């Protein structure tokens, strides 16, 4: 079974549209961390956010916002007023604290295309 | 800000050759990892390393792979006899004691021809 599921393989939007990237995770641990990374065409992983399982408060950072809901095991990412520079592959990841030296489980990624 | 570095950024090798991918983790970090990403696919865990030994490895990490921390600063991934399917981006990561954020390097793109 997949630990992290990103059901949207690819999304295309027009600049200035809002877009939400979905992430559903699975774990039996009560303590864990969730992450979002951006991977531009150059290939590096750019850290966007970390959230621990005890902090369900939604977070906003500029045009980015994250909605963490433990009840549905989801950690969705919304980009408001998308821009062409947002075009990239976005990965959600899970780290289960206290075991396996915190290896990351990545989702399969969502490719976001923002057209001008 | 401290960062994880990886060399080379791109390596091309012939099938059957040995390659060594190099990483310099952040200096006070104690846990080290290698991940692999085949083009167009997700990032997959290969191995974790702590206290000079492997703490966990995935099914991908077979006898062709080995890791080493030869001098207290570098962390290397060796592939003894490369196959075409080893072509991928390889990411190194490190974590400090008591924290849960992994710092990823920029990756080494390995192309096996």
Q: How many CA atoms lie within 13 A of A70 on its CB side?
A: 14
Test B45 with A47 for CB contact under 8 angstroms.
no
Residue in chain A closest to B30 (alpha carbons) equals A101
Q: For residue A52, which residues of chain B lie inside 8 Å, CB to CB?
A: 100
Query: Which residue in the set A37, A50, A104 is minimally distant from B45, CB to CB?
Result: A104
Chain B residues with a Cβ under 8 Å from any Cβ in chain A:
31, 33, 35, 41-45, 48, 50, 55-56, 89, 91, 93, 95, 100-104, 106-107, 109
Closest CA relative to residue A97, chosen from A53, A49, A42, A45: A53
- Choose from A101, A106, A107 for mutation: most chain B CBs within 10 A: A101
Measured in angstroms, the CA of A16 and the nearest CA of chain B are apart by 26
Buried b (16+ CB within 10 A) or exposed e, B86-100: bbbbbbbbbbbeeeb
Measured in angstroms, the CA of B75 and the nearest CA of chain A are apart by 17
pLDDT tens-place string over residues B35-60:
999 999 999 999 999 989 999 999 99
pLDDT tens-place string over residues A31-80:
899 999 999 999 999 999 999 899 888 888 999 999 999 999 999 999 99
Measured in angstroms, the CA of A116 and the nearest CA of chain B are apart by 24
What pLDDT does residue A56 have?
Answer: 85
Those residues with Cβ within 8 angstroms of residue B72's Cβ, 6 or more apart along the chain or in another chain? none
């Amino acid at each position: 079974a997949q630990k992290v599921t990103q059901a949207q393989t690819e999304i295309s939007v027009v600049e200035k549209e809002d877009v939400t990237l979905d992430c559903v995770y699975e774990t039996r641990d009560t303590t864990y961390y969730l992450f979002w990374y951006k991977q531009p065409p150059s290939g590096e992983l750019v850290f966007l956010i970390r959230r621990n399982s005890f902090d369900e408060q939604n977070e906003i950072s500029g045009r980015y916002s994250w909605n963490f809901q433990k009840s549905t095991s989801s950690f969705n990412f919304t980009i408001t007023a998308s821009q062409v520079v947002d075009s990239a592959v976005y990965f959600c990841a899970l780290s289960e604290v206290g075991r396996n030296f915190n290896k990351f489980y990545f989702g399969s990624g969502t490719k976001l295309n923002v057209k001008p | 800000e401290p960062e994880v570095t990886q060399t080379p950024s791109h390596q091309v090798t012939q099938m059957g050759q040995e390659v060594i991918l190099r990483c310099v983790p952040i200096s006070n970090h104690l846990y080290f990892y290698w991940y692999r990403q085949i083009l167009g696919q997700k990032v997959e865990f290969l191995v974790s390393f702590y206290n000079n030994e492997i703490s966990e490895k995935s099914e991908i990490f077979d006898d062709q792979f080995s890791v080493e921390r030869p001098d207290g600063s570098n962390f290397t991934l060796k592939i003894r006899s490369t196959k075409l399917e080893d072509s991928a981006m390889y990411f190194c990561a490190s974590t400090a004691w008591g924290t849960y954020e992994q710092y990823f390097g920029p990756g080494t793109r390995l192309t096996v021809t």
